[in-house]
Amino acid sequence: MDGNGRWAQSRGLPRIKGHEQGSQAVGECVEGCLESGVEFLTLYAFSSENWKRPAAEIQGLMLLLERFLEQKTRQMIDKGIRLRAIGRLDELPAPCRDRLERSIAATAAGSRLTLTLALSYSGRAEIVDAVRAIVREARATPALTEDQITPELIGAHLYTHDLPDPDLLIRTSGELRLSNFLLWQLSYTEIHVTPKFWPDFTRADLADALADYARRHRRFGGV
Where in the sequence numbering do the catalytic residues fall? 2, 50
- Burial level of 10, CB count in 10 A (0-12/13-18/19+)? exposed
- Tell which residue, 84, 71, 29, has the closest CA to residue 206: 29
**Gap between the Cα atoms of 110 and 40, Å rounded:** 12
CA distance 29 to 114: 13
> Residue 83's closest CA among 98, 62, 100, 68?
100
Q: Give the angle 162-168-169 at the CA atoms, nearest 5°.
A: 95
